[in-house]
Amino acid sequence: MPVRSAAWLLLIPIIALAQEGEELASREEKPPASEEASGGLFDRHKSLVDTQVNRAAQWVDSFFSDPNFEAESASTLLRVRPELFWRKEDDLKVRLKARLKLRLPNVNRKTSLVIGSDDTVDEFGEAVDDASEDPVVGLQFFGRQSPRWHTSLSLGVKFDEFAVFLGPRVRYASPWGDRKSVSFTQSVRYQSNHYWNTVSRLDLNFITGDRFFFRQTFDGRWRGEKSEDEGFRTRISSILTQRLGSSAGLQYDFSTFIHTRPNTQVDSYVLALRYRKRTARDWLYYEIVPQVSFDHEHDYAFNPGIRLRLEFFYGADTASAAWKREHEDSDDFRW
């Protein structure tokens, strides 16, 4: 643990230098004058960004650190998450998860170095936002980026199986009226140990009030190295988010976890209440997540638990501030 912590501390000067380069690069990412004058594409772009449901989804994904939000950010950021997790039927778990995404402006403004836990294709944990502890190092190359489409290609190394991986990620999002939207994300990776990993995620988003946002998620994953044990693993989640001012939020979550091998069955049902708060220090968050689960391995017995988490966050998507960050800081903001 001390060695790992020291390693992260050594990276802070590198992050600061990268952030300076990123801010310089972001100044160049303004719409061309001809496009702004003509109004066509830029106006359509702004119209989509300004829909109520898109603003709401952006705030929820940014504030609650949704893996999809981080996967689509090309900016420099660092997250360090120490946490305690306890359930009645399990031992107390102490974890430290860290993830660094470093923009490489001198290489390509659309290239990021990624180090840390893999949020994209690994297993579902005990909580719906839980990322894998398996470390990865890789590069993410960003392609087409717009409010509707986002594409990228990842190349790197997973150290738990020590395999090189390569694969694309594509996301399509579309408003469905002013208060509803749908998005679909597909990731595919091939590993040098001859396994395929896939992630398919469908989100249906609904504004249900001035401060309430509902999302129905269908998240399916296939991991080749564990296909004989779990087959196609699916999470079905109904999440109601309540915005509490500009720096706090609640999520009411009911999730069902299913796998198809050796037999199709429900692994667990989980009811969770996730309270997340940003402190007076913009870089420090904390979470309190009481939950109740009914798990197949414990014969679906009542299994209460709680997660306590701190999160140290550095970085912001300065190039996309008008899309993702400005709404979070407005006390008068409503969906």
Encode the chain (335 residues) as per-residue pLDDT tens digits. Answer: 444 444 444 454 444 444 544 444 444 444 444 444 444 544 554 455 557 888 888 889 989 988 888 888 878 889 999 999 999 998 899 999 888 988 887 666 688 999 987 765 555 554 444 445 678 999 999 997 888 899 999 999 998 878 999 999 999 999 888 899 999 999 999 999 989 999 999 999 999 988 999 999 999 998 887 778 888 999 999 999 999 988 999 999 999 999 998 889 999 999 999 999 999 998 999 999 999 999 999 999 999 999 999 999 887 543 344 334 444 445 455 65
Residue spans per domain, the chain: 2-329
Rg value, the chain, Cα: 20
278 contact partners, CB below 8 Å, separation of at least 6: 63, 247, 248, 284, 285
Q: Which CA distances in Å does 155 have to 94, 114, 118, 188, 199?
A: 30, 10, 12, 12, 16
Cβ contact 314:9 at 8 Å: no
160-169 LR contacts (CB < 8 Å, sep 24+):
160/134, 160/135, 161/191, 161/193, 161/195, 161/225, 163/191, 163/192, 163/193, 163/195, 164/191, 164/192, 165/136, 165/138, 165/189, 165/190, 165/191, 165/192, 165/197, 166/190, 167/197, 169/71, 169/120
CATH of domain 2-329: 2.40.160.40
pTM of the model: 0.79
Sign of the dihedral through C-alpha 213, 178, 184, 262: positive
